[in-house]
Amino acid sequence: MRYLWRRLGHAVLVLLGVSFLTFVLAGAAPGSFVDELRLDPRVSPETIEAMRVRYGLNDTLPGQYLRWLQSIGRGEFGFSIAYNGPVAPLLWPRIRNTLLLTVPATLLSWLIALPLGTWSAGRRGGWLDRVAAGATTTLLGIPELVLGLGLLLLAVRTGYLPVGGMTSLNFEEMGRWQRVRDVIVHLVLPVTALTLVSLPILVRHVRASVGEVVRARFIQAARASGVPERRLLVRHALRTAANPLISLFGLSLAGLLSASLVIETIMSWPGLGPLLLDAVAARDLHVVVAAVSCSTVLLVAGNLLADGLLYLADPRLRPERA
């Protein structure tokens, strides 16, 4: 357990560092939300000065950062000037919506990548391997922006799927199951986009890791003693390759979350991405810091999960039980 505690402590330090870094980067910027108001002739300079004092914009950056940390203690995550309220109520539904996209996309891409990569590794140079290699290279070459727009075009042309958004217009009048169905229908397009973004990297790595194990002596020995090929791949090769693959799980989340920002915004899915972009455009400092920190929390949490899995899978990390 010492290993996991150490990882957790490390994660907390990273989070503090990232939030401070964002605060300094974003807070050092010329122009704040209040300065944008200055352009409005109906707002007097006195009002602006009063707002600056009220929102603590005249304090030093470290001072503002400490006050932001205190507001986390109160469960507020800062104060959004654009929405004129605490940040937390804005944040929770956005986090939920982002998870609603990224969790199914992660599961789906692993469900496809594991068998596909293992199979490719088992039959190097075969037709499936070549098709998979060609497809992954092509997919890797498609930027998220273009992929998202292309899928939207597909939806517009075919008319089977809704174009963007999370719910239909008459969502309020629907029964519970209809609502679930409605959200799922809206999920299809963005989840497909995210799966296609993360899939090629996973397939490549699964193929490489399993392929490396397949060449090992003990696999050859097992093959020589007549273990069937399928059992060889799944029970022996895949299991031995589990370590790098679990690490890959943690690493691949970064790309997925990152792509999610673009896909969410293009497909107007109300996740963390659009929240951040709106906040950057409105110079809403605390929302920017909170959104960036939350994306980091999701990433770090995913990595902790990977660490936990690694801990379960690899007995070498558990010296006290050995």
Partner 1 sequence: MTSRPHPAGRNYHVTLLALVVVYLAAIFAGFLAPYDPSAQSRDFAFVPPTGLHWIDMSGAVHLRPFVYQEGRPYPLRFFVRGAPYRIARLFSSQRHLLGVDAPAALFLLGTDGFGRDQLSRLLYGAQISLFAGPLGAALSVVFGLVLGGLAGFFGGWVDAIIMRAGELFLAVPWYYLLFAVRMALPLRIEPQEAFAMILAIVAVVGWARPARLIRGVVLSGRTRDYVEAARALGASDLHVLRRHVLPQAFGVALTQAALLAPQYILAEATLSFFGLGVGEPVPSWGNMLAVLQRYDVLSSYWWMFLPGGALLAVFLLYYLLADALHERVAALPG
**Interface residue list for partner 1 (CB under 8 A):** 14, 17-18, 21-22, 25-26, 28-31, 36, 137-138, 140-146, 149-150, 152-153, 156-157, 163, 254-255, 257-262, 265-266, 272-273, 276-277, 280-281, 283, 288, 291-292, 295-296, 298-300
Compute the least distance from the CB of residue 24 to partner 1, in Å.
9
Residue number with CB closer to partner 1 (129 or 238): 129
Helix (H, G, I), strand (E, B) or coil at 80: strand
Of the pair 132, 238, the CB lying nearest partner 1 is at 132
CB of 277 to partner 1, least distance (A): 6
Give the 3-state secondary structure of residue 118.
Answer: helix
**In sequence order, which residues have a C-beta less than 8 Å from that of residue 159 and are 6 or more positions away?**
none
Task: Tell me whether residue 127 or residue 177 sits nearer to partner 1 (CB atom).
Answer: 127
CB of 295 to partner 1, least distance (A): 4
Nearer to partner 1, 117 or 236 (CB): 117
Minimum distance, C-beta of residue 230 to partner 1, in the bound complex (Å): 28
Burial of 75 per CB tally in 10 Å (0-12, 13-18, 19+): exposed
CB 245, min distance to partner 1, A: 20
Question: Which residues, at least 6 apart from 69, have a Cβ–Cβ distance to it below 8 Å?
Answer: none
In angstroms, give the least distance from the CB of 76 to partner 1: 20
| φ, ψ (nearest 5 deg) of residue 85 | -170, 175
CB of 245 or CB of 262, closer to partner 1:
262
Longest dimension (CA), the chain: 87
* Choice between 58 and 138, CB closer to partner 1: 138
Please name which of 316, 199, 174, 197 lies closest in space to residue 267, comparing C-alpha atoms.
197
User: CB-wise, 98 or 118, nearer to partner 1?
Assistant: 98
The minimum distance between CB 111 and partner 1, in angstroms, equals 23
Buried b (16+ CB within 10 A) or exposed e, 254-293: eebbebbbbbbbbbebbbbbbbbbbbbebbbbbbbbbbbb
Residue whose token pair is 């691949």: 252
3-state secondary structure of 85: strand
**With contact defined as beta carbons under 8 Å apart, do 320 and 113 qualify?**
no
Q: Specify the residue for token string 């539904």.
A: 93
